[in-house]
Amino acid sequence: MDAEAQDSFREFVANRSSALLKTAVLLSGGDRHAGEDLLQNALIKAAGRWHRIDEPEAYVRRILYRQQISRWRLKRRGRELSVAEPPEPGTDGGSASADAELRLVMRGALARLTARQRTMLVLRYFEDLPEAEVARILGCSVGTVRSTTHRSLARLRALAPELRPLGASEAERRPSGDYPPVEVRS
């Protein structure tokens, strides 16, 4: 890598590494060390091809996603993250402590999802990618993205019921057999 490419790479890392690290930590279930490893490996791969990369951030993110996919495809069951029960939500919803508690609950619940479920949720909701883009990145169908995302959200709500009021619409809060009354006009 020549001096100009090195400067460009260093500038990219300095400017974008914090945002990329957030994504990597989420992809790895809230484990900061695993997220740092994931990002470091992605940056090493990107550095080797730096002179050929047109959109560096998209390229590094794609490496992050693919590395995480490779990890959950290996089906290594040897390391399981044990977490304590999530804390009770605070009474004041707007305080910094309540926000911190919410982040802890969310991190704990995400860590208890499978890597595949976590990856789908991070791509769909944190990265705000459309279903078709997630399907392209993960190499699956749009239907698989939809069904996995739906099951992942249901599992997340089951693992952390205190999160339910935050994102659930009225229809999602209602039991599946209960439907709103329909007005019939004659």
- Per-residue confidence of the chain (186 residues) as pLDDT tens digits? 788 888 999 999 999 999 999 999 888 888 889 889 999 999 999 998 888 888 998 899 999 988 888 877 765 555 555 566 665 554 444 567 777 788 888 888 888 888 888 888 888 988 888 999 999 888 899 999 999 999 998 898 888 887 766 554 444 444 444 445 555 554
CA 140 – CA 133 distance, rounded (Å): 10
Q: Running DSSP on this structure, what letter comes out for residue 30?
A: T
State residue 25 phi and psi, 5-degree precision: -65, -40
Which residues make Cβ contacts (< 8 Å) with residue 63, sequence separation at least 6?
Answer: 41, 42, 45, 46
- Burial (CB count <10 Å: 0-12, 13-18, 19+), residue 156: buried
